[in-house]
A = this chain, B = another copy of it.
């Protein structure tokens, strides 16, 4: 495993890219290893698409929904419009999704899976004490920012527009997982000295999340992201290693 500062990393997983909102879906998209292969049934999906054709329909609906959620917001994107833009009938849409929220849930699920992957990968790297803390943190931040920046609008919609499906919200299972994993990571590193690992982990998770959001969506256009990432890393690493 080789780390490079620009955030690229060689692993067997392949690279996760944006879904290219607005572009046509390539034929290979989602063909293999797609995070979309999961158990959608639990989310309100009605019929597991088994045939090729149906799968394409689901794909095309999600694509259309993502675009409209971004452009109009969740509430103003009507199911009829989604179906229309997807080029399928409203009847077909409701054959695959029990209701409008199920569409959002599917998108959210996919998104979270992807974030999960990015974070877990970075945490795995940070688990290794031989990887310098700063390097690992920088990698984490860089990759997260890159991920979010690839489709900033969707990210924003998913994380802000629909808080009642709480997800990245503090207190959510997501964050619980991340915090636990971070506690574990911290405990593995001899170069980290914190008094209250739980608290520090939460602090870390929260801060990283906020910085990511800011860097991906809010930072002044044209601003170089390397600088603030370096500063953030300095702050976080300084804190975690303060005991030394």
Contact = CB atoms under 8 A, between A and B. Distances in A.
Interface of A: 73, 75, 156, 160-161, 163-164, 169-171, 175, 196, 199-200, 202-203, 206-207, 209-211, 213-214, 217-220, 227-228, 231-232, 234-236, 238-239, 242
Contacts of A169: 217-218
A231 B196 contact: yes
A231 B210 contact: no
Contacts of A234: 239, 242
A217 B163 CA distance: 12
A242 B234 CA distance: 9
A141 B171 CA distance: 20
Given A203-B232, A207-B210, 16 more contacts: A156-B163, A160-B160, A170-B213, A170-B214, A170-B217, A171-B218, A175-B218, A196-B231, A199-B231, A203-B228, A203-B231, A206-B211, A207-B207, A207-B235, A234-B242, A235-B235
Contacts of A196: 227, 231
A202 B223 CA distance: 12
Contact of A228 (B175, B202, B232, B235): B202
A48 to B, nearest CB: 15
What is the oligomeric copy number? 4
17 contacts: A160-B163, A169-B217, A170-B217, A171-B217, A171-B218, A199-B231, A200-B231, A203-B232, A206-B211, A207-B207, A207-B210, A207-B235, A234-B239, A234-B242, A235-B236, A238-B242, A239-B239
B218 A170 contact: yes
Contacts of A164: 73
A227 B206 contact: no
Contacts of A73: 164
A238 B244 CA distance: 13
Contacts of A202: 214, 219, 228
Contact of A235 (B175, B219, B227, B239): B239
A171 B152 CA distance: 14
A198 to B, nearest CB: 9
